[in-house]
Amino acid sequence: MTLPSSGTITISQIVTEFGGDAPHSLSEYYRGGSYVTANNTDVPTSGAIALSDFYGAVKIIYYAATGGTITTDGDYKYHAFTGSGTFAIQTAGNAAGGTIDYMVTAGGGGSGIDNSGGAGAGGMLRVTGATKSAASYSIVIGAGGAGAINDDSSPGSQGTNSSGLSSTATGGGHGSNFNSGPGGDGGSGGGSSISGGNNPGDGVSGQGNDGGTAASDSVPGGGGGAGEAGNTDRQSDGGDGVEWLNGTTYAGGGGAGAEGLAYTPSGGDGGGGTGTNGRDSYGASTDGTVNTGGGAGGVRLHRGNNGRSGGSGIVIIRYKYQN
């Protein structure tokens, strides 16, 4: 804990805060040496040193961990998990050293075929200011849902959940088919088909948004994204995702496969797949982007082809590692 900012300070208090081996001397406690961390700018690095130099001094302990792909940006270290693994904290930070921020995004939903709604993005959970003990934490990365298999009587598949650090994000809802009913529920919901009772899938509160309703009998709805619902105004775009602390956007919804449009429905920002319009070929539609949780783009007419797949999920953890 922080040393007093006034009054009496003893060598014992300094030892308790910073450690050290007996016998103790103030000359052991120069800033930048073995014990006193660099944040304590009133403590000298050499020369004369006094007990009063330690008013308000505090030892910073930063988190130290392994797992995933590790990068740094300024004073922060990032651990990105694009596949399942283990986040192992060797040293837990103290209050002066900061906390952990993390993002868990599930796999996006797969799309249907034949005037299908766009698939919903995987649920996206964002946690800031967390404290965690030194331990090993399992990280699970959800797969994107598969597209419908050359059959307009069944929809695509829901994405699978991602989890880590006691948080679980829900897989994205599937995009519906012409004959398969409503969009699927999920982290974000799938868009409604034109014959699905105009019922888009529901998103999970705090993780995503609902899919879009069908705008007409030939324009299904876009898939929901983490930042907004699927589009319903005769554009059928997927809902946009959300930008995280690393500056990248995740969890965009898929655009619909719309027979009644000349405009090609776009996927939402954050990896949502592109849909198709009444003039596009099958190849114009796209999968959700890998490791974004993006929902798959819808297909307007299968002609022997399958629906598109959702993007797999991702978990990213960051903490301060220096000052």
% of the chain at pLDDT higher than 90: 72
Measured CA to CA, the distance from residue 160 to residue 170 in angstroms comes to: 7
Higher model confidence: residue 54 or residue 154?
Answer: 54
DSSP string for 126-157: EEEEE---SSEEEEB-PPPPPPP-S-TTS---
pLDDT value at 297 more than 90: yes
Please give, one letter per residue, the 3-state secondary structure of 90-127. Answer: EECCCHHHCCEEEEEECCCCCCCCCCCCCCCCCCEEEE
Q: Which of 95, 93, 178, 102 is nearest to 132 (CA)?
A: 93
Give the model's pLDDT for residue 70: 98
Give the model's pLDDT for residue 119: 96
| Phi, psi angles (nearest 5°) of residue 17 | -75, -45
| Phi, psi angles (nearest 5°) of residue 170 | -90, 135
Measured CA to CA, the distance from residue 185 to residue 191 in angstroms comes to: 10
**Average pLDDT for residues 161-172, to the nearest whole number?**
98
Give the model's pLDDT for residue 283: 60
The band of 306, judged by pLDDT with boundaries at 50, 70 and 90, is: confident
Give the model's pLDDT for residue 267: 94
- Name the one residue in this structure whose structure tokens are 């130290």: 64
pLDDT value at 243 more than 60: yes
Residue 241 tokens read as 């995702």
Q: How many CA atoms lie within 13 A of 17 on its CB side?
A: 22
Residue type, position 307, single letter: G
Measured CA to CA, the distance from residue 192 to residue 230 in angstroms comes to: 10
Q: Give me Rg for the CA atoms of the chain.
A: 26
pLDDT digits (tens, 9 = 90+) for 11-22: 999 999 999 988
- Name the one residue in this structure whose structure tokens are 């505090």: 58
Residue 122 tokens read as 């995987």
The band of 196, judged by pLDDT with boundaries at 50, 70 and 90, is: low
DSSP 8-state symbol, 70 = E
Give the model's pLDDT for residue 179: 66
Give the model's pLDDT for residue 127: 98
- Residues contacting residue 165 through CB under 8 Å, at least 6 positions apart: 87, 100, 102, 104, 127, 130, 132, 137, 317
pLDDT value at 314 more than 80: yes
Give bridge partners of residue 207 from the DSSP assignment: none
pLDDT value at 262 more than 80: no
Q: pTM value?
A: 0.90
Give the model's pLDDT for residue 198: 73
- Give the rounded distance of the alpha carbon of 115 from its chain centre: 30
Measured CA to CA, the distance from residue 292 to residue 141 in angstroms comes to: 11
Give the model's pLDDT for residue 312: 98
Higher model confidence: residue 304 or residue 47?
Answer: 47
Task: Kindly report which listed range (152-166, 241-255, 267-281) carries the lowest average pLDDT score.
Answer: 267-281
SS3 282: helix
